[in-house]
Amino acid sequence: MSNCARCGAVLSEGAAFCSGCGERVESKDSLPFCALCGAQIPDGANFCASCGAPRAGSTPNQSPYAVHSTVEKRVSDCLAWSIVSTIIFFPIGLGALIFSLLSRNAASEGNFSSATSYAEGARVWNIVLWVVALGGFLVVGFMFVLTAIFGLFAL
């Protein structure tokens, strides 16, 4: 039998959570998961490789605001690109702007997991929007060149 690392209560065999405090019990055969993004954190790592959040139970030499500032930067970058996309590609760019505003709202409420998910949605929306727009510009340009070339031969 082992004891809970948080409260010291005796853990029953195979328990996934402590009956005393509700803390998740890490088994020896599985890797812990990040509380912010859900990615697996390997043994010995103090931070999540996906989002930079400190590992639960570790005491890293990092300000508690470092994770928040990382998420805030991601949210503000997505908001800036979404505003540009909305201005250039109105009304299609509104989807990216909506995701960005949802991300900003979730971050202001302290829900950094949702903020990261919404920011990723805004990023994907922006990428798809810009790729489709660039493809459209290339097709129109190619058609213009073909019309100019074949128009010269028609004279």
Model pLDDT for residues 12-55, shown as the tens digit of each residue: 777 777 888 887 776 554 557 777 777 788 877 777 777 777 77
Report pLDDT for 108: 81
Token readout for 107 is 């971050």
Peptide bond into 91 cis (omega under 30): yes
Distant-in-sequence, close-in-space partners of 72: CB < 8 Å, separation ≥ 6: 107
Domain shared by 15 and 43, yes or no: no
Domain shared by 24 and 36, yes or no: no
Domain shared by 23 and 83, yes or no: no
Domain shared by 13 and 72, yes or no: no
Domain shared by 69 and 125, yes or no: yes
Domain shared by 110 and 125, yes or no: yes
Domain shared by 77 and 109, yes or no: yes
Using DSSP, state whether 32 is helix, strand or coil: coil
Domain shared by 146 and 71, yes or no: yes
pLDDT exceeding 90 applies to what percent of the chain? 5
C-alpha to C-alpha distance for 2 and 9, rounded to whole angstroms: 9
Question: Is residue 51 a contact partner of residue 116, using CB atoms and an 8 Å limit?
Answer: yes
Report pLDDT for 155: 47
Distant-in-sequence, close-in-space partners of 68: CB < 8 Å, separation ≥ 6: 107, 112
Report pLDDT for 67: 55
Domain shared by 42 and 86, yes or no: no
Residue 97 in this model has a pLDDT that exceeds 60: yes
Distant-in-sequence, close-in-space partners of 13: CB < 8 Å, separation ≥ 6: 1
Domain shared by 139 and 69, yes or no: yes
Domain shared by 49 and 17, yes or no: no
Question: Is residue 12 a contact partner of residue 91, using CB atoms and an 8 Å limit?
Answer: no
Distant-in-sequence, close-in-space partners of 56: CB < 8 Å, separation ≥ 6: 24, 32, 35
- What are the φ and ψ backbone dihedral angles of 93, each rounded to 5 degrees? -70, -10
Residue 154 in this model has a pLDDT that exceeds 80: no
- pLDDT digit string, tens, across residues 77-90: 888 888 888 888 88
Q: How many domains does the chain have?
A: 3
- Confidence label for 131 from pLDDT (cuts 50, 70 and 90): very high
**Containing domain of residue 46, as a range?**
32-62
Report pLDDT for 31: 59
Question: Is residue 60 a contact partner of residue 46, using CB atoms and an 8 Å limit?
Answer: yes
Report pLDDT for 144: 85
Mean of pLDDT values over 90-98: 86
pTM, whole model, 2 decimals? 0.49
Domain shared by 123 and 88, yes or no: yes
Report pLDDT for 57: 61
